[in-house]
Amino acid sequence: MRYRVVIKPKAEKELARVSKQNRGRMVKALQGLASNPFAGKKLTGNYHGYYSIRVWPYRIIYHIYKKEFLVIVIRIGHRQGVY
């Protein structure tokens, strides 16, 4: 079953700031979340319950709603400042 991927407005703005070359890689990664959202790393601390995938040098932070088959992307940013 494919998941539906929803990008929060803040994450949309962050994605718009990424260079065109890296943005294409980000879009591919976001499309990949629809088929396998559990491929990311489970986070702890302030982001307990969230997942992160790496699109070097960026990170995509998201939450999975299993019952609704839904992925909500909350942050997209450089690895040094996204957390």
- pLDDT of res. 75: 96
Per the domain annotation, does 83 fall within a domain? Answer: no
The Cα 42–Cα 9 span in angstroms is 23
The verdict on residue 48 lying in a domain is: yes
| Structural domain for 31, as ranges | 4-78
Q: Report yes or no on 21 lying in a domain.
A: yes
pLDDT of residue 79: 87
If one counts the domains in the chain, the total is 1
Region 45-70: mean pLDDT is: 96
- The count of other CB atoms within 10 Å of the CB of residue 52 is 17
pLDDT at 1: 82
Mean pLDDT of 39-67: 96
The verdict on residue 9 lying in a domain is yes
Supply the mean pLDDT for the chain.
95
